[in-house]
Amino acid sequence: MAVPLAFFGVFFAYPVASIVSRGLKDGGSWQFARIGEVITDPRIGHVLWFTTWQAAASTALTLLLALPGAYVFARFDFPGKHLLRAVVTVPFVLPTVVVGSAFLALLGRGGLLDELWGVRLDTTVWAILLAHVFFNYAVVVRTVGGLWAQLDPRQEEAARVLGAGRLAAWRRVTLPALGPAVAAAALMVFLFTFTSFGVVQILGGPRYATLEVEIYQQTAQLLDLPTAAVLTLVQFAAVAALLGVHAWTVRRREATLKLVDAARTARRPQGAAQWALLASVLAVVALLVLVPLVVLVLRSLDGPHGYDLTYYRALASAGDNGGTFVVAPLAAIGNSLAYALAATAVAVVVGGLAAAALTRREGRLVRGFDALLMLPLGTSAVTVGFGFLIALDEPPLDLRTSWILVPLAQALVGVPFVVRTMLPVLRAVDVRLREAAAVLGASPLRAWREVDLPLVGRALAVAAGFAFAVSLGEFGATVFIARPDSPTLPVAVARLLGRPGALTYGQAMALSTILMLVCAAALLVLERVRTDRTGEF
Amino acid sequence: MLRLDEVTVRFGERTVLDAVDLSVAEHETVCVLGPSGSGKSTLLRVVAGLQRADAGRVLLAGKDQSAVPTHRRGVGLMFQDHQLFPQRDVAGNVAFGLRMRGTGRAESARRVAELLELVGLPGAQRRPVGALSGGEQQRVALARALAPEPRLLMLDEPLGQLDRSLRERLVVELRALFGRLGTTVLAVTHDQGEAFALADRVVVMRDGHIAQAGTPLEVWRRPASEFVARFLGFDNVVPATVRGECAETVWGRVPVPRGTPEGACRVLVRPAGVRIASVAEGLACDVVARTFRGDHVVVRLRPADGPELEAACALASAPGVGDRVGAVFGVDEVAVLP
């Protein structure tokens, strides 16, 4: 437990604390009056209100569209199910920047809808909401559907035999069992959309800003640190409250249910109604998930002289993009991969140790630690990034010029995924298996290697893959600390989008496509090694 | 081979093992018998070093084991629910202990084949353990425990989860196997049939201490206490006062073995010692229940006074429910309890 705690202390708590204190301290004394001033500022009030209601609306819309999907994936067997489940997960690991550009290509000026019907949604809130649904569809399908698939259908059958109608049986038996999972999924979606940055930054235009976007603007553009600090605290409080509720629902979910093997509960749809449900879910997936991805790819190929690789070729040189880069954008691929690999290594070590510590011990303190590990997911990445710059640039920790800074920030986001993936698997390893190995002559270390490692090895691979994907897509913190001469893919995409002109736009689409393909490839590898028990994401 | 010296284990307030003394000689099979919660599994865990004793010593071949970690004790333990390693196949499980001792690949493969032959699963090496039936898992677990040739083999409810016919067959096989290999065995079970069939010596446990130890015949013939008698399934126990060769009870006079000291005690009449006769001949009883047991019938009798009693009788002569009969007690099946 010491290593993860130290890691979080030095690379999370310290930078965040130092940026907050820098913002709120004036001449050595705390200026708490700022808090009141900022919160009562009508502009900030507007941002807060928008952040909250768009998160609520996104969550409601995601649940509405994804719950039928969760049911279909849990209970039906149909050809291509596994591939499709991997496909709907692709958006979740996609960098927010790519999601933003994909929806820009679909809904924006000169986008698909604009060309077809003259409809533009990029300046409306609908673009943001749809992008959020796209992004979080998999969270609901995996969290709720994963549990749903493991609920014993015989429970419902028992209720039927006892005289409950089909609907009553579902309402009285299945729904209460699913309730906590639905609540947990809703909270996760709310959390992700509440702190949404890349999507809103790209699709929101000047009119819409979430807290996170506002923090970015206050910090990076207006250089108003005190306001940014207050906003960081506000977001911190909101996220902490959400995580508290989340931890509570998770505990309730773990406590009560008897689960069965998911493979045995699914069967072919029967009757017109079930086929219709399957068809409508597939249609939603096609429209919501596949179309934006396809459009993104098409845009990247749709050059000035018809479909070709113009934009991809332009990526290879530094000179063709109006001086946006000092290096060729293509170099960003190498940077991203190197950073993401380092970040994955850090996340796996820290997260693995944390998960091991959480498995071995019980009690309130441990649960607190569990929640603490989730905090980086909800904390303003912008704050973390900027905090890195401020806090880690002087002795004893002068890392500002070190390349390690980027992987460290990215690992911070990867750790929660590693912990979430490893924990259920580690908890499932029966203590007596280790005892059996010991009786047969295996030392504790040997027993761990022979018994635990093979059982959790696959989960470890999955965890590493997730950490890799989220590190690859990390934007909020990286945008601050990546050096201009070594941008990562998402940073390069954002820079390209920030420039006018068809060529840079096309290049952004091309680079996003590359990023998407790398993430999708990582995910497809994951689906192959995925174990039944692995995690919630 | 194994000696326990006043071994005590406490879980918080509860004393699970209370100053237990026990020894197992070389090549001996000892069965610890007791109801669930009597501390038998904890006893095995203490010997294996999986559970620390709060007081007392465990000696293997005369050496104190308190500082020896589990993996160096050289004992074998077959877990109640087998605990086969799910990610390994049958051969991988059986060879595990051999690998830990650094046995070579060829030698280890030979041993595995030999052991699988021994437990009646020849050629099962490559099968995944998840696909085995309960009885087959059981055999694999046994082969795995035997493979490193432990100086003491411990079995926790070895046949617990198996169906009756398989269990009866395996008991016979196990006993023959242990006799042939000369293995020293300490087993625990809650099933007296299993214990009596398997063991050279039976140790009955109750609430963390030993209630009786002896050969199966001794324990069967002369239970040391009412608890042991009732645990063995004998419910015909009444308070009594011995005078000469008879004991006075609410059931009337019960003959007792010669040489029984006079005074207050309890007597046990095994069901086989209750003969059904006419009302005039013995204790007048109503037949309230009749249970078919295959080769005989057990009838439950309600006398006018005192506790109900059971009688075992032959199929042909068994009375029906509602009949009024007389019960006569035979001295051969009477045991005197303190």
Question: How many Å apart are CA B145 and CA B96, to the nearest integer?
Answer: 9
* Count of domains for chain A: 1
Q: Please give the distance of CA A147 from its chain centroid, rounded to a whole number.
A: 20
Question: How many Å apart are CA B155 and CA B184, to the nearest integer?
Answer: 11
Q: Please give the distance of CA A242 from its chain centroid, rounded to a whole number.
A: 16
Q: What pLDDT was estimated at residue B21?
A: 93
Q: How far is CA B169 from CA A130, A376, A402, in A?
A: 67, 61, 71
Supply the DSSP symbol for B27.
T
Beta bridge partners of A30: A25
Q: What pLDDT was estimated at residue B69?
A: 86
A390: exposed, middle or buried (C-beta count within 10 Å: 0-12, 13-18, 19+)? middle
Name chain B contacts of A454, Cβ cutoff 8 Å.
87
Asked if the structure places residue A532 within a domain, the reply is no
- % chain B with pLDDT above 90: 40
Contacts of B5 (CB under 8 A, 6+ apart): B21, B56, B57, B58, B59
Q: What pLDDT was estimated at residue B171?
A: 85
Q: pLDDT tens for residues B47-99? A: 998 888 999 999 999 999 888 888 888 898 988 888 888 878 899 999 988 88
The amino acid present at A50, given as its one-letter code, is F
Kindly state the helix (H) or strand (E) to which residue B185 belongs, with its residue range: strand B185-189
A26: pLDDT confidence band, cut at 50, 70 and 90? low
Q: What pLDDT was estimated at residue A274?
A: 81
Name chain B contacts of A441, Cβ cutoff 8 Å.
71-72, 74, 97, 100-101, 148
Measured in Å, how far apart are chain A's first and last C-alpha atoms?
24
CA diameter of chain A: 74
Q: How far is CA B12 from CA B15, B16, B54, in A?
A: 8, 10, 11
DSSP strand pairing (B185-189 vs B29-33) = parallel
Mean of pLDDT over chain B: 89
Query: Residue ranges per domain, chain B?
Result: 2-228, 237-337
Q: How far is CA A490 from CA A94, A346, A510, B54, in A?
A: 10, 20, 12, 60
Q: pLDDT tens for residues A246-297? A: 667 666 555 445 556 666 667 777 777 788 888 888 888 888 888 888 887 8
Q: Do B83 and A440 touch (CB under 8 A)?
A: no
Question: How many Å apart are CA A400 and CA A391, to the nearest integer?
Answer: 9
Residue B109 has pLDDT above 90, yes or no: yes
Q: Give the residue from A367, A280, A212, A250 showing the smallest Cα distance to A71.
A: A280
Structural domain for A192, as ranges: 32-308
Answer yes or no: are the C-beta atoms of A69 and A88 closer than 8 Å.
Answer: yes
Q: pLDDT tens for residues A431-465? A: 788 888 988 888 888 888 888 777 777 777 777 87
Q: Do A440 and B75 touch (CB under 8 A)?
A: no
A537: pLDDT confidence band, cut at 50, 70 and 90? very low
Question: How many Å apart are CA A243 and CA A188, to the nearest integer?
Answer: 9
Mean of pLDDT over chain A: 75
SS3 A110: coil
Sheet holding B252-255, edge to edge: B252-255, B246-249, B237-243, B263-269, B334-337
Name chain A contacts of B81, Cβ cutoff 8 Å.
432
Kindly state the helix (H) or strand (E) to which residue A60 belongs, with its residue range: helix A42-75
Asked if the structure places residue A495 within a domain, the reply is no
Q: What pLDDT was estimated at residue A384?
A: 79
Asked if the structure places residue A475 within a domain, the reply is no
Q: What pLDDT was estimated at residue A532?
A: 43
CATH 1.20.120.140 fits B237-337, yes or no: no
Q: Does B97 touch chain A (CB under 8 A)?
A: yes
SS3 B277: strand
| Alpha carbons within 13 A on the beta-carbon side of B259 | 0
Angle at B73 between CA B69 and CA B74, to 5 degrees: 145
- Pull the structure tokens for residue B233: 């399934």
Asked if the structure places residue A303 within a domain, the reply is yes
B-chain residue closest to A441, CA distance:
B71
* Candidate from A430, A441, A444 with C-beta closest to B100: A441
Residue A329 has pLDDT above 70, yes or no: no
Asked if the structure places residue A181 within a domain, the reply is yes
* Candidate from B50, B86, B96 with C-beta closest to A440: B96
Determine the length of chain A.
Answer: 537
How does DSSP assign A286-297, residue by residue?
IIIIIHHHHHHH
Q: Do B83 and A435 touch (CB under 8 A)?
A: yes
The amino acid present at A413, given as its one-letter code, is V
| Alpha carbons within 13 A on the beta-carbon side of B161 | 12
Count of CB atoms situated within 10 Å of the CB of A255: 8
The owner of tokens 């091309």 is A510
Which CATH architecture is the domain B2-228 placed in? 3-Layer(aba) Sandwich (3.40)
Q: Does B111 touch chain A (CB under 8 A)?
A: no
Answer yes or no: are the C-beta atoms of A466 and A537 closer than 8 Å.
Answer: yes
Q: Please give the distance of CA B54 from its chain centroid, rounded to a whole number.
A: 26
Q: What pLDDT was estimated at residue A534?
A: 39
> Can you tell me the mean pLDDT for B202-222?
91
> Can you tell me the mean pLDDT for A190-215?
79
Q: What pLDDT was estimated at residue A536?
A: 41
Please report, for the domain that includes residue A168, its CATH number: 1.10.3720.10
Q: Do B79 and A432 touch (CB under 8 A)?
A: yes
Q: pLDDT tens for residues A464-509? A: 877 887 888 787 778 777 777 777 888 887 777 777 677 777 777 7
Most confident option among A202-216, A518-532, B72-86, B156-170: B72-86
Residue B24 has pLDDT above 90, yes or no: yes
Residue B219 has pLDDT above 70, yes or no: yes
Angle at B6 between CA B2 and CA B7, to 5 degrees: 75
Asked if the structure places residue A467 within a domain, the reply is no
Q: Do A441 and B101 touch (CB under 8 A)?
A: yes
Residue A392 has pLDDT above 80, yes or no: no
Q: What pLDDT was estimated at residue A383?
A: 78
Asked if the structure places residue A286 within a domain, the reply is yes
Q: pLDDT tens for residues A393-437? A: 666 666 666 677 788 888 888 888 788 777 777 777 777 888 889
Higher local confidence (pLDDT), A391 or B300: B300
Contacts of A29 (CB under 8 A, 6+ apart): none
Q: Give the residue from B118, B136, B115 showing the smallest Cα distance to B127.
A: B136
Beta bridge partners of A201: none
Name chain A contacts of B44, Cβ cutoff 8 Å.
none
Shortest distance between the Cα of A436 and any Cα of chain B, in A, equals 7
Q: Give the residue from A509, A190, A133, A144 showing the smallest Cα distance to A377.
A: A190
Name chain B contacts of A433, Cβ cutoff 8 Å.
83, 85
Q: Does B48 touch chain A (CB under 8 A)?
A: yes
Q: pLDDT tens for residues B251-295? A: 988 999 888 888 899 999 999 899 998 888 888 999 999 998 888
Domains B2-228 and B237-337 share a fold: no
Q: pLDDT tens for residues A132-159? A: 888 888 888 877 877 777 777 777 777 7
Mutation to test the B interface, candidates A264, A432, A440, most B Cβ within 10 Å: A440
> Can you tell me the mean pLDDT for A221-235?
78
Count of CB atoms situated within 10 Å of the CB of B64: 12
Name chain A contacts of B75, Cβ cutoff 8 Å.
439
